[in-house]
Structure 1
């Protein structure tokens, strides 16, 4: 609104500036037309009954590089490289991967990887809003899906179908109604017709629920596993900032089997508690790590204690305080090993 007022104000005194401001407004993306800067000023599709947007545009913040295991990182980076080098592929008679399916448990970086790809490709990231797409009217849901996919095809973009298992369940499931089975057929047809100018990504936490035909429709399938110790160490170093290696190593062990989202949640809880209590972040992180250790069995805590002493570079006294395992027990087990 401010730029519109400025354009009107300068219409008499500085016509060139007024026109440039108007051109800027016409080109700038908005929530109603997120692909306007790519030459598509068409508003996002709406549901015919509720008039709610069928997609939501992800507001990109500062670029955050996801922490991924090497195999997954290589696949995601190749997807980026293919879409950044369309001409080189065309010279060899090739097209980039048009579609990608991200599978894995919650909190392992699937959505973050999609957001990172959109940022690297400088394209809007649009997420299918399943709450708006699903309709109680026969045939309306399939029509809504087509509207969303047609809109995303019209200009270079990245479309994320999050929780794909919600709309692409197995068609041989006797518990599902015919409408959802028809929806799977619609989705498969649309994926087959997807252009190489845009990128279609889908994510699911329950790959076993997907219809078998869905897997074959995606050019690339990437399995995001739970992070191992090295991945957690990298993530914690990114989340915690400048804290000692002792804290990071201890948290890596106390978060064994957790996801990246679990690790970030613990660090953010520690930051909030430290800000409110004026305690050092170092101490709060250790307390939260100890709280997680209390839920573990004695054998697991003993294994963690020995690993911290042998590979974490932490003294026996400090490890005993953190894990609750006596120094005598730690010494005896070290001698035995």
Structure 2
């Protein structure tokens, strides 16, 4: 009798939210029902229905009935949609970052395993780190691996000239994303999620934080919200607590820089491996985007003047601002690789040729190898 009464209540509640056209609430309720029931076949059937729900294919594929949200004043679109995200190259991340991104994908590809354990997939993730370290590319990678469209929240569009409407824009965008089987990226999160004790911010912008907190609390497990910031110190502490996972992206270490440079040069430079070793030293402490910009600049120059790429890559090796030990390491690596002469290594790094020879001897090179 109790089961019959509970089923009746569940059905009435489901009918209520369905008739109110709140799709995200329907999905959230069905997810809870699948987790709560002891009937595994019933739970798996619900999970499968949710995974294949029609919004996945209908909403972003030029549906005549559902359009991307726009600002009511400017009519500018508030979201950028990448229906089939693509990457210029495969990302290279530290082990911890790579493992977390892979887990986000696995959670949704193996949803039945989580359901069996009474768990839901991660709903919200915060990416932190300096510019150019691959946060946006990580979002594209996750969306591509899940075969879902990527929606990117354009915060400059959300910030209406009429401040009272900015919160409405934000709600509109996030409610829309909740109803789509997608990956949502909220870039530059600090623009709307600053600390509420910041005296420089006016009341309306502070209220945006409250709107965001409410939306994060209500985010359905059927969706995935990724947020990125270059200035985590500006975020309101309450925002931090609302994200289930935080992923810190750092500047690439030498091994990552070497692999990245090699991926940029392997099809255009015969000595890609040697140049990768050298440039990973010369460009140490720089972001992926800075490294890519400099390497591609050298490639463009070579294409325009007909000279070898290696001639232009050598211009990236200036190490006058580096500490002495790093300049010596770079000079020795240059001489050892054979990419340039010892004289040229001296000119590029300012390290005396005798110092280069001494270091090479200490590494076991014979005298005939030093010329």
Scaled by the length of structure 2, the TM-score of the pair is 0.76
> What displacement does 1:135 show?
1.5
Q: Map 1:88-237; keep pairs closer than 5 Å.
A: 88-237=113-262
Q: Partner of 2:290 in structure 1?
A: 262
Q: Does 1:47 align with 2:71?
A: yes
Provide the C-alpha distance between the structure 2 equivalents of 1:319 and 1:64, rounded to a whole number of angstroms: 31
Provide the C-alpha distance between the structure 1 equivalents of 2:151 and 2:255, rounded to a whole number of angstroms: 32
Deviations 1:189-246 (A, max 9, x none): 0011001111100000000000001111111100001001000011001111243122
Deviations 1:241-264 (A, max 9, x none): 243122111111110100100111
Provide the C-alpha distance between the structure 2 equivalents of 1:64 and 1:48, rounded to a whole number of angstroms: 38
Scaled by the length of structure 1, the TM-score of the pair is 0.83
Deviations 1:13-63 (A, max 9, x none): xxxxxxxxxxxxx9997xxx86248x8951011111111111111362357
Deviations 1:43-101 (A, max 9, x none): 01111111111111136235742110111100111011112222221121111000110
Count residues in correspondence: 305
Q: Is the 8 A contact 1:316 1:327 kept in 2?
A: no
Which structure has the larger Rg? Answer: 2
> What displacement does 1:302 show?
2.2
Provide the C-alpha distance between the structure 2 equivalents of 1:82 and 1:141, rounded to a whole number of angstroms: 34
Deviations 1:300-322 (A, max 9, x none): 41243245567x68787264354
C-alpha RMSD over aligned residues: 2.6
Q: For 2:86, which of 61, 77, 82 is the aligned residue?
A: 61
- Closer, same or farther: CA 249–279 of 1 in aligned 2, 3 Å: same
